Chain A
Amino acid sequence: MLKGNLTCEDISRLIIPYIDDKLTTNKRNRVAMHLRNCPFCMEKYRIIKTLLDSIKNKHLERAKKFRQYRLLSAYCDNEVSSHTKEKIESSLALSCELVQRTLKINSLRKALNQTFENKFANLELGLEKKVIERLKNENIFYKIRKFFLP
């Protein structure tokens, strides 16, 4: 247990849990008290806090961007509700960036679809006869077995 006033060394251990709000009320108050009285620790606290905030914001920003992309991707597949569709279309009218992203998704889809179609357009496998033959043979085999081993 930490007794008496906290030292600067204690603060460097407690500073991250303090920012994450993971300390007990008592500890939190004591850290706050130290920070108020110690300009060095206060400086340290400010730097770490700004750093962590910017990382968090970056994550949030990325998550937000992906959510938007996910919506556009589903929109391109016509897999959104009519209400969402209307909402997307009205945002598309206002944002060049969104239009560009949608166009990119569509050109990717087009490239994939065309390639897939061309690639196998002339492929002849002729497996249907073989498969049916095998199925018939297996059926005959079962019938024979059933006949001899009732």
Chain B
Amino acid sequence: MKYNLKNNNLDELISLAQKGDMEALEEIIRRQQKNVFATLYYLDAKPDEIMDLTQEILFKVAKNIKKLKNPRTFKSWLNQIIINQFYDTLRKKQKTIKKVCLDNDEEKIKFEIPDFASNPYQRIIDKELEKAIKNSIHKLPDPFKAAIIMRELQGLSYEEIARATNSNIGTVKSRIARARLKLQEYLKPYIS
């Protein structure tokens, strides 16, 4: 999800928000919410938790925006928050006792995002490919998953990814390459 709006627009909004402009802050959140949601979706967050988690992350962004020193590092900072929050929730969940669901599987609420592609035939192909991509990404080891999502979904540079994951550029290069190799293997039937 790359936004067409130029970087300095976001920079301006950030510096306004840091001075206490609520409307600028609202605009930042309006623009970033889809990104956060999509990232969590591909990081394999539980469907019934994605919305709450997205809201929690955006709230953290809103609350702490004044602490961000350099507006240019916003993307890395945002992703750091996403990743920390996501793994925090995972860790907390591992500590709590697992609950057994007595409901019938069929009654479980399915989480589907509506799809508005025009051609129904194309829609089926797209849907299948999307499913395959989602499943393949979920199968990747955590550091590879995060790196490839930040790169391909959000369009972050290697430097920004390195900053968000507290690693160096060489590591980011390797992670992205490894993730791509694995994805190529998993998606062989779909991508020529």
B158 touches A79 (CB 8 A): yes
Docked-complex contact A112 and B133, CB < 8 angstroms = yes
Chain B 95-120 per-residue mask, 1 if CB under 8 angstroms from chain A, else 0: 00000000000000000011111000
Question: Are B129 and A111 touching (Cβ within 8 A)?
Answer: yes
Partner of A116, one of B38, B59, B178, B191: B38
Tell me the chain B residues, 1-48 only, with Cβ under 8 Å from chain A: 1, 22, 25-27, 29-30, 33-34, 37-38, 42
Residues of B within 8 A of A136 (CB): 22
Report yes or no: A77 in contact with B151, Cβ–Cβ below 8 A: yes
Chain B neighbourhood of A109, CB < 8 A: 152
B43 to chain A, nearest CB (A): 13
Known contacts A70-B173, A107-B191, A135-B63; A128/B55 CB under 8 A? no
Q: Counting chain A CB atoms within 10 Å of each CB, which of B62, B183, B187 scores highest?
A: B62
Min CB distance, A88 to chain B, in Å? 14
Interface size class of B (residues with CB under 8 A): 35 or more
A115 within 8 Å of B by Cβ? Answer: yes
Q: Which of A69, A125, A134 contacts B177 (CB 8 A)?
A: A69
Interface of chain A residues 54 through 99 with chain B (CB within 8 A): 66, 69-70, 73-74, 77, 79
Known: A73-B177, A108-B191. A120 touches B22 (CB 8 A): no
Task: Report the minimum CB–CB distance from B47 to chain A (whole Å).
Answer: 14
Contact of A121 with B151 at beta-carbon distance under 8 Å, contacts A128-B26, A128-B29 already known: no
Cα distance, A116 to B151, chains bound together (Å): 12
Q: How far is the CB of B53 from chain A (nearest CB, A)?
A: 11
Q: Closest CB of chain B to A131's CB: distance in Å? A: 5
Nearest Cβ on chain A to B59's Cβ, whole angstroms: 5
| A119 contact from B26, B54, B113, B183, Cβ within 8 A | B113
Q: A111-B190, A116-B153, A121-B116 are contacts. A132–B29 as well, Cβ < 8 Å? A: yes
Do A120 and B34 touch (CB < 8 A)? yes
Residue A23 at the B interface, CB < 8 A?
A: no
Q: Is the CB of B126 within 8 A of A118?
A: yes
- Residues in A109-149 with C-beta less than 8 Å from chain B: 109, 111-113, 115-123, 125, 127-132, 134-136, 138
- Between A and B, 6 residue pairs with Cβ closer than 8 Å are A66-B181, A70-B173, A74-B158, A105-B184, A127-B54, A131-B58
